[in-house]
């Protein structure tokens, strides 16, 4: 098969790789669409994220959809031909975290596109059958791939304990921030304020469920007064301002990856009895993500603003620098169709 391989920071090559073989309870998926995430871009430019360091050639990409073309010996052959969205995780079933249901926190997790585990910018991948989620016809291949970032938003909204009537602040109107606003609306939040310094991003947020948008440089975010605060920016100033905007007993959920450390208003956290937590990927989110996408409650297709093929992965990884881009995808269906015509 053909695979787009990150050889070193800033250098992508298309190489031939063996087609993986599904074992035991795995399935083999012919990849259709793969979304480009900020983590992919970070590995491409810098070769590392925290303790995860590129030490050997790596296939990036973890937001993927496709079709099952083969199954391992423990999987029903009836699944062959099924359209699926891939939850790109391989947790160790024996760890305490996995057994307790928090499989996203498994210390032995093998996650697509995270060194040294290859991802989905290639023609075929294997995944555990339970992590290949069947999608209905109402969910397009693009949307099936983007159920992954939608799952991050679902995990954040759950941690924020958003319920009907909640008032929430979301800082950062990138893809995850936009989806967080949409999921908060689907959970019944009646006031959703999205803060972002970029006017174009604020305009998009209004289309994804925000009831109000603010420019943090011009509006005193600390005065908003909300029940929950979800940061999707990773910016230290946004996090501190958001904490100040919370009512007593409010919840802080940190999603954006940015600063490693920052000074916190500890007395404020104590006096208001605020709850502060983070989100690391997701667990048990795909069923809800599928329902939200299939019902139209969240429009994932509208997020796709740039499309590339497997030979253009380097360009896809630079698409975040193109004005107006929300989400770039690598569409392997284009490459396959062109090859069939030759």
Q: What is the pLDDT of residues 75-109, one digit of tens each?
A: 999 999 999 999 999 999 999 999 999 999 999 99
Largest interatomic CA distance in the chain: 69
Same domain? 115 vs 159: no
Q: Which domain holds residue 336?
A: 2-146+300-341
**Which residues in the chain land under pLDDT 50?**
337-342
Same domain? 109 vs 134: yes
pLDDT tens digits, residue range 197-240? Answer: 999 999 999 889 999 999 999 999 999 999 999 999 999 999 99
The pTM (predicted TM-score) of the whole model is: 0.95
Domain membership of residue 317 (yes or no) is yes
Same domain? 14 vs 139: yes
**What pLDDT does 340 receive?**
36
CA angle 9, 235, 183 (to 5 degrees): 95
Domain membership of residue 289 (yes or no) is no
**What pLDDT does 337 receive?**
47
Same domain? 80 vs 161: no
Same domain? 99 vs 201: no
User: Please, where are the H alpha helices in the chain?
Assistant: 38-46, 96-99, 141-145, 147-159, 175-186, 199-207, 236-244, 266-271, 286-295, 313-317, 332-341
């Amino acid at each position: 098969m053909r695979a787009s391989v990150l050889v070193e920071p800033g250098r992508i090559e298309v190489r031939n790789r063996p087609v993986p073989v599904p074992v035991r309870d795995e399935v083999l998926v012919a990849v259709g669409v793969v979304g480009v995430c900020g983590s992919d871009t970070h590995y491409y430019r810098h070769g590392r994220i925290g303790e995860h360091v590129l030490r050997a050639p790596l296939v990036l990409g973890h937001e993927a959809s496709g079709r099952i073309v083969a199954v391992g010996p423990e999987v029903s052959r009836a699944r062959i031909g099924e359209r699926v969205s891939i939850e790109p995780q391989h947790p160790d079933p024996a760890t305490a975290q996995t057994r307790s249901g928090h499989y996203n926190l498994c210390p032995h997790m093998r996650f697509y596109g995270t060194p040294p585990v290859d991802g989905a910018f290639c023609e075929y991948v294997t995944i555990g059958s339970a992590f290949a989620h069947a999608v209905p016809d109402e969910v397009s291949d693009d949307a099936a791939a983007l159920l992954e970032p939608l799952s991050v938003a679902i995990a954040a909204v759950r941690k924020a304990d958003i319920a009907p009537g909640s008032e929430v602040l979301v800082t950062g109107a990138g893809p995850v921030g936009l989806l967080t606003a949409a999921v908060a609306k689907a959970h019944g939040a009646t006031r959703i304020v999205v803060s972002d310094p970029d006017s174009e991003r604020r305009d998009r947020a209004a289309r994804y469920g925000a009831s109000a948008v603010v420019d943090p440089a011009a509006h005193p975010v600390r005065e908003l007064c909300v029940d929950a605060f979800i940061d999707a920016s990773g910016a230290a100033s946004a996090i501190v301002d958001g904490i100040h905007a919370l009512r007593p007993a409010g919840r802080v959920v940190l999603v954006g990856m940015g600063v490693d450390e920052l000074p916190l208003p500890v007395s404020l956290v104590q006096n208001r009895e605020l709850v502060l937590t983070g989100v690391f990927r997701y667990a048990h989110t795909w069923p809800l993500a599928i329902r939200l996408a299939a019902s139209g409650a969240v429009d994932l297709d509208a997020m796709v603003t740039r499309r590339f093929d497997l030979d253009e992965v380097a360009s896809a990884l630079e698409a975040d620098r193109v004005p107006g881009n929300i989400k770039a995808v690598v569409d392997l269906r284009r490459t396959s169709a062109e090859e069939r015509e030759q």
